[in-house]
Amino acid sequence: MTKIAVAKGDGIGPEIMDAVLHIFTAAKVPLEYEVVEMGKWVFDKGYSNGMTPEAKQTIETLGILFKGPMETPKGKGVKSVNVTARKTWNTYANNRVFQTLHGVDTVFSKAGIPIDITVVRENIEDTYGGVEHMLTHDVALSRRLITRPGSEQVIRYAFEMAKKKRARRITCGHKANIMKITDGLFLEVFYEVAKEYPALKADDVIVDDLCMKLVTRPDTFDVVVLTNLQGDIVSDLCAGLVGGLGFAPSANIGDHICIFEAVHGTAPDIAGKNIANPTALLLSGIAMLRHLGLMESAAIIENALLYTLEQGVHTGDFGNKAIPALNTTQFADAIISNF
């Protein structure tokens, strides 16, 4: 049986991870789990990268990490465990799928406009190196790194994924009109790679215009690839189009290690109350099952989830307020009852 590493995370992390693993177990998913030590409480134990050496070793051996959201302690001298994990294992592409879900009402679902957008965000470079310093007491400077190989690996991933998905269109979001050298390089590489995929309609849209077009005609987009910071912002915008962060899964793809997690954070305002929505983590888990070739398990769980949502079953963060909200555990049990 395949074994994967699981890090439950902080805040609502353990609650939603337990709910998802409960669903996996009920669906008899043929996986074994090794729980690893990662997150804020590991920083507190004195590990400045937020993970124990044993956790790092296990993840590198198993190759797959299924993780809950994690909090980075505030202040100088500590780096985000999420960013560290992506960099350490060169998970260069962040793949986020945003789809209309029946039962999750949005202005678009009410208007009968279907959404199926995959955002591919470069995951390592850009301003996320955190290379910044005070130039003078009143001037702060940040460095932005965009490389040809770094751009090429994520853009190539996006084209390959678009081809497999039978996408109609792949769009590069950028600000090359202003940042001519950095975004200019990303855009140049995009069109170089595009030549190898003549069957795909490849185009580009300036990122501010892209935001406007995404909120007015989201159905015209299919796959969108962006640099790190712009991709982060645009993907949260896309989460809003399909009902919010509770429905936004993500996969961090590398050549050796892949990390599957929800887009949202630790939701400290609702942590410990057993009321969080586990759907985003469950959708991330379903994508992980497909990545591992466990198509049947993925289909059983996905169909049960979609049917549950269609029935109007919901947690407190969405859905018809006339129908009482279920807590996290009850919501997981409702999905299991629909297998």
Which of 143, 144, 147, 119 is closest to 132 using CA atoms? 143
Among 15, 71, 122, 126, binds ligand NAD (CB under 6 A): 71
Among 29, 64, 276, 288, binds ligand NAD (CB under 6 A): 276
Asked if residue 252 binds ligand NAD (CB under 6 A), the reply is no
Asked if residue 146 binds ligand NAD (CB under 6 A), the reply is no
Which of 148, 126, 132, 131 is closest to 227 using CA atoms? 126
129 versus 240: smaller Cβ distance to ligand NAD = 240
83 versus 205: smaller Cβ distance to ligand NAD = 83
Asked if residue 270 binds ligand NAD (CB under 6 A), the reply is yes
Among 37, 122, 204, 261, binds ligand NAD (CB under 6 A): 261
Asked if residue 50 binds ligand NAD (CB under 6 A), the reply is no
Asked if residue 249 binds ligand NAD (CB under 6 A), the reply is no
184 versus 265: smaller Cβ distance to ligand NAD = 265
Asked if residue 265 binds ligand NAD (CB under 6 A), the reply is yes
Among 91, 171, 252, 277, binds ligand NAD (CB under 6 A): 277
In angstroms, the CA 190 to CA 186 distance is 6
Asked if residue 264 binds ligand NAD (CB under 6 A), the reply is yes
50 versus 173: smaller Cβ distance to ligand NAD = 50
On whether the CB atoms of residues 174 and 188 are closer than 8 A, the answer is: no
Which of 51, 48, 46 is closest to 10 using CA atoms? 51
In angstroms, the CA 278 to CA 247 distance is 9
Q: How many CB atoms lie within 10 A of CB 73?
A: 13
Q: Which residue is nearest to ligand NAD (CB)?
A: 265
How far, CA to CA in Å, does 27 sit from each of 19, 23, 46, 145? 12, 6, 38, 44
Among 199, 269, 321, 322, binds ligand NAD (CB under 6 A): 269
**Piece of the chain touching ligand NAD by CB under 6 A; list 44-52, 64-72, 147-155, 196-204:** 64-72
117 versus 282: smaller Cβ distance to ligand NAD = 282
Residue 257 token pair: 């290690």
Asked if residue 236 binds ligand NAD (CB under 6 A), the reply is no
**Piece of the chain touching ligand NAD by CB under 6 A; list 25-33, 119-127, 273-281, 301-309:** 273-281
Which of 126, 118, 101 is closest to 214 using CA atoms? 118
In angstroms, the CA 319 to CA 37 distance is 35
Asked if residue 319 binds ligand NAD (CB under 6 A), the reply is no
Restricting to residues 72-101, name those near ligand NAD by CB under 6 A: 72, 82
Nearest approach, Cβ of residue 12 and ligand NAD (Å): 6
Which of 74, 70, 29 is closest to 294 using CA atoms? 29
On whether the CB atoms of residues 37 and 6 are closer than 8 A, the answer is: no
Which of 227, 334, 329 is closest to 18 using CA atoms? 329
Which of 255, 228, 264 is closest to 120 using CA atoms? 228
On whether the CB atoms of residues 262 and 250 are closer than 8 A, the answer is: yes
Residue ranges in contact with ligand NAD by CB under 6 A? 12, 16, 69-72, 82, 245-246, 261, 264-270, 276-277, 280, 317
